[in-house]
């Protein structure tokens, strides 16, 4: 080996890219997307809420000005992904039988999965655009994604 | 010719560890720079022995070249 570099991800993306990453990530944790109408009607019954702002994220504003929100749910726990006033990604966790710390832990796990999906997609897309070839790819038991790339 | 590859690990939280394999000299730094631009903030970078191999080869070559004169 000649160089080892460690990188912390920064999410800079528009809403469709975030939507794709959320969609791919939450499915692996058993969450399902909630339609917008259902999301509005059920929110009032929620008892516990916890908000988490995603550090190192910048969600690019939509040119249409449309409200951007993704709602996912699993066994009564709901996660609402939005773009906050400063443009960062924010996740609001809602549940009826969970403590705030449980919701925070679950929310952080969701954010981690979304970040991993975003980074995976971005790395693969950018390397392929530079004519690099992925020769091997695997998902380890601890959910680390391993990719081997050649370009020469 | 030795196999030249880039090995990338994306942790469950999205942190990336990338290793160049068989790539000697500063060319491996170009790949590290490229990944840093793609992923985000660089936390650390380590150069291993292989990085210095090309420079050694160049030095050896220069010595041989100089001896010819």
Q: Do A5 and B40 touch (CB under 8 A)?
A: no
> Which of A138, A127, A110, A106 lies closest to A21, judged by CA?
A110
Contacts of B44 in chain A (CB under 8 A): 4-6
Per-residue model confidence (pLDDT) at position B42? 93
Q: For testing the chain B interface, which of A3, A28, A54 should be mutated: the one with the most B CBs within 10 Å? A: A3
Please determine, for residue A69, whether its predicted confidence score (pLDDT) is greater than 60: yes
Query: Average pLDDT of chain B?
Result: 77
Average pLDDT over every residue of A55-79: 85
Q: Are A146 and B41 in contact (CB under 8 A)?
A: no
Please determine, for residue A152, whether its predicted confidence score (pLDDT) is greater than 80: no
Average pLDDT over every residue of A63-85: 86
pLDDT digits (tens, 9 = 90+) for A102-145: 999 999 999 999 999 999 999 999 999 999 999 999 999 999 99
Per-residue model confidence (pLDDT) at position A52? 96
What SS3 string covers A37-68?
HHHHHHHHHCCEEEEEECCCEEEECCCCCCCC
Domain boundaries along the sequence of chain A: 11-119
Pairing of strands A11-14, A57-60: parallel
pLDDT digits (tens, 9 = 90+) for A39-55: 665 555 658 999 999 98
What residues in chain B have per-residue pLDDT under 50?
55, 58-59, 61-62, 64-69
Q: Between the CA atoms of A11, A15, A18 and A23, what dihedral angle is there, to the nearest 10 degrees? A: 170
What SS3 string covers chain B?
CCCCEEEEEECCCCCEEEEEECCCCCHHHHHHHHHHHHHEEEEEEEECHHHHHHHHHHHHHHHHHHHCC
Number of domains in chain B: 1
CA A11 to chain centre: 10
Average pLDDT over every residue of A63-92: 88
Q: Do B6 and A142 touch (CB under 8 A)?
A: no
d(CA B13, CA A111): 8
Strand, helix or coil for residue A85: coil
Query: Average pLDDT of chain A?
Result: 89
Residue of B nearest to A138 (CA): B9
State the smallest CA–CA distance between residue A110 and chain B in angstroms.
9
Per-residue model confidence (pLDDT) at position A38? 67
pTM for the complete prediction?
0.84
Average pLDDT over every residue of A8-21: 94
Residues of the domain holding B12: 5-67
């Amino acid at each position: 080996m000649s160089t080892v570099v460690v990188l912390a991800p920064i999410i800079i993306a528009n809403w469709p890219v975030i939507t794709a990453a959320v969609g791919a990530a939450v499915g692996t944790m058993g969450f399902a997307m909630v339609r917008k109408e259902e999301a509005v009607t059920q929110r009032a019954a929620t008892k516990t809420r916890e908000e988490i702002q995603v550090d190192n994220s910048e969600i690019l504003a939509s040119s249409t000005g449309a409200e951007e929100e993704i709602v996912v749910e699993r066994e009564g726990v709901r996660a609402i992904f939005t773009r906050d006033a400063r443009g960062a990604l924010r996740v609001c966790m809602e549940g009826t039988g969970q403590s705030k710390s449980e919701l925070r832990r679950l929310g952080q796990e969701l954010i981690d999965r979304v970040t991993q999906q975003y980074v995976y997609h971005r790395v693969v897309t950018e390397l392929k655009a530079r004519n690099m070839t992925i020769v091997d790819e695997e998902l380890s038991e601890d959910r680390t994604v391993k990719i081997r790339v050649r370009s020469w | 010719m030795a196999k030249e590859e880039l090995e990338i690990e994306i942790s469950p939280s999205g942190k990336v560890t990338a290793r160049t394999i068989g790539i000697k000299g500063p060319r491996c730094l170009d790949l590290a720079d490229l990944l840093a631009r793609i992923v985000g903030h660089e936390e650390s970078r380590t150069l291993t022995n292989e990085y210095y191999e090309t420079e050694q080869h160049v030095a050896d070559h220069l010595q041989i070249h100089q001896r010819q004169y």
